[in-house]
Structure 1
Amino acid sequence: MSNDDLYKNVALNFSIPKTKPTYVHWTQDEVKRVLLQINKEDYFNHLVYTMIHFYFYTGLIVNEATATCWTDIDFDKKKLHVNHMLIKEKGKKTYRQNYTKTDAGNRIIPLNSFTIELLKEWKERQKNHGINSDFVFSDTGKPLYSQRIAKKMNVFAENAGVKKIPLQRLRHSNATYLYRDLKIDLEDIKQRFGHKDITTLLRYYIENRNDPNIEVAQKIDDSINSSLTSNKKII
């Protein structure tokens, strides 16, 4: 390498795609409409119902959820340990990989009470069906292929009059739900999603609609009023 090479900007040799990410997701209302189409009396439909709910309210990657075992869930503390991925190699059997996509992906996710109850209900249903499986989302005892869930999800979406989305888009739906509807801090969502930084979250998962945030103006007013009140007390 010559001295001239040290001053060259190697980044100029690479091009960065400028394609805009497609933000396709379901709202909480759309998820409810889809779930209402599912008759849980049917054994497999019960599994589909539980998985759609689980994906939307946890935001897990598709094969993180399919790799989840009952031992990963602490029902008492309402926590889920995400530390595996389900891998299917072409021409080979499916196996449970004992690490996640990134180091940050190995994480603990708090679960809400309603999701905990749904999981308990499904665990009992699984047991009563004669299935003694380590895998949470299994109807046969073996790892579940996510395509089976995706196909059924499309059918129920069509019946509900809701746009069809890929199964992995429920993760994007969760990000938008947490950020826009629940106003969860980006740092908390980043940790929950297993991301190293917020950039990925904002670029690929959360749509910025550039809506005017009226709450900002209200908070400024509250701050000014509080400051004026404090000054009056000092005088």
Structure 2
Amino acid sequence: MSKDPIKKAKNGTYYFRANLGYDSKGKKIQKYRSGFKTKKEAREEYSKLILMNPEDLSDTKDKMMFEHYILDIFLPWYKTRVKLRTYDNRLPTVKKHFPYFYKLAVDDIEPIHVQNWQLKLSKKLKPSYVRAVQGLFSVAMDRAIVLGITATNPSKIIGNVKKQKTKIEFWTKEEFEKVISFIYKKDYYQHFLFVSLWFLFMTGMRIGEATAIQWEDVDFDSGVLTINKNLYYKNQTNYRFVEPKTKASVRHIVLDKCTLNVLTEWKNVQQSLIKTDFVMSYNGIPTQKHTLAYAIERYAKLAGIHRIRIHGLRHSHASLLISMGENPLIIKDRLGHEDIETTLGTYGHLYPNSNFEVANKLNGIISFKETKQNYDSSPKNQFTVDYLGKQKQKVQ
């Protein structure tokens, strides 16, 4: 028994995709129809198309609405192409900004529509965010081309907004010291916050990597921390381990003795109250980033230090290593970057005095005794003969 071609969309309307054979040129004929209020209306339209001649069908223009395409065709496909965490993060963006085009058919979206949308977004949003939103829209339009729903991608014709260098926010060692000095470790919850901020600052881990760390990942004998997973956290009852961001994200970090002592002390306190495998946990389940973001805001204000985002602690670690004169390759491996270009592209500007330091190191490094005799008997260069003559005249 064949499947019913009439499908119900998420907004309650009905749609179908009809395969209607081939036209006189051998081109496959496919027709999309959507926006039917009832299943009966959709089936009547489907039946009309089935009975039409191929010549008439080839002249019938498809009008798939953008809303139907995004919600019922693109998003289900996109969910299979990216990590679940990525999909969940981008879904709100789609639902918030893509409705601008919902009243248009996919094939009717023109460059002027995209340009007006881009300008509207740019009035209130950061260029980096606008680039991300339009980039996702462009992916959707590219997929529509592959499916034969439209012929061009108007987003690529317009082009994205100009990329701007993002300012890296971080805390210096002194700023971090001021912030954690306001955390009262004798309070169990504050002790947890102290350890969490310390752990992130001293390792440069991504928040998803850090919240996934288990006690078994810390080898207290060798001092080696193993990073081989991320944590997908949706809520207190829905979280799980997922694959790392990239292959380079799987790595080993050697921890300093102070950090090992901080972790040892925390493990004793934590395990005396709760039983959990998670290092960054005060209640038996992994912490969520909002908890730490709020803590950063609160204690930064108490210390009179500018607020940074959680990812800023990763930048702070990189900045600390740079200030210590560490090799970029070491920083690359410690942060889990795939290539050195990523490291230098992100943190290269934090080396403002590198050229001066190099010049100071080169100064006086060459030692030689200047000759008082000409040992070169080769023919003179025509441009230097006159110069040597003038030099002799000055001596006389």
> Could you tell me the TM-score, scaled by structure 2's length?
0.51
Question: Percent identical across equivalent pairs?
Answer: 34
**Distance change (3 Å), C-alpha of 1:192 and 1:124:** same
Of residues 274, 277, 280, the one that matches 1:137 is 280
**Counterpart of 2:255 in structure 1: which amino acid?**
L
Shift of 1:204: 2.8
Of structures 1 and 2, the one with the larger relative CO (CA 8 A, separation 6+) is 1
**Distance change (3 Å), C-alpha of 1:159 and 1:195:** same
Q: Tell me what 1:79 maps to.
A: 224
Deviations 1:32-68 (A, max 9, x none): 0001000001101001111111111100001100000
Check if 1:187 corresponds to 2:329.
yes
Q: Tell me what 2:181 maps to.
A: 36
8 Å contact kept, 2:319–2:350: no
8 Å contact kept, 1:154–1:164: yes
| Mapped partners of 1:22, 1:215: distance in 2 | 24
Shift of 1:15: 5.5
| Mapped partners of 2:298, 2:362: distance in 1 | 47
Shift of 1:214: 3.0
| Mapped partners of 1:202, 1:150: distance in 2 | 27
Q: Which has the larger radius of gyration?
A: 2
Of residues 63, 66, 71, the one that matches 2:208 is 63
Q: Tell me what 1:105 maps to.
A: 249
Of residues 264, 289, 293, the one that matches 1:120 is 264
8 Å contact kept, 1:123–1:136: yes
**Counterpart of 1:122 in structure 2: which amino acid?**
W
Q: Tell me what 2:53 maps to.
A: none
Of residues 285, 296, 320, the one that matches 1:177 is 320
Deviations 1:60-82 (A, max 9, x none): 00110000000001101001000
Equivalent residues in 2 for 1:205-216 (5 A)?
205-208=347-350, 210-211=352-353, 213-216=355-358
Q: Tell me what 1:217 maps to.
A: 359
Deviations 1:184-213 (A, max 9, x none): 100111011111112222223453464364
Deviations 1:118-175 (A, max 9, x none): 000000010122x111100110111111211221121111000000111111001111
Q: Give the SS at the match of 2:252.
A: strand
| Mapped partners of 1:186, 1:203: distance in 2 | 11
| Mapped partners of 1:186, 1:66: distance in 2 | 26
Q: Give the SS at the match of 2:166.
A: coil
Shift of 1:90: 7.7
**Distance change (3 Å), C-alpha of 1:173 and 1:91:** closer
In structure 1, the gaps of 5 or more residues are: 1-11, 230-235
**Counterpart of 2:257 in structure 1: which amino acid?**
S
**Distance change (3 Å), C-alpha of 1:46 and 1:222:** farther
Deviates more, 1:150-159 or 1:17-26: 17-26
**Distance change (3 Å), C-alpha of 1:219 and 1:73:** same
8 Å contact kept, 1:126–1:139: yes
Q: Give the SS at the match of 1:223.
A: coil
Deviates more, 1:158-167 or 1:198-207: 198-207
In structure 2, the gaps of 5 or more residues are: 1-155, 370-396
> Could you tell me the TM-score, scaled by structure 1's length?
0.84
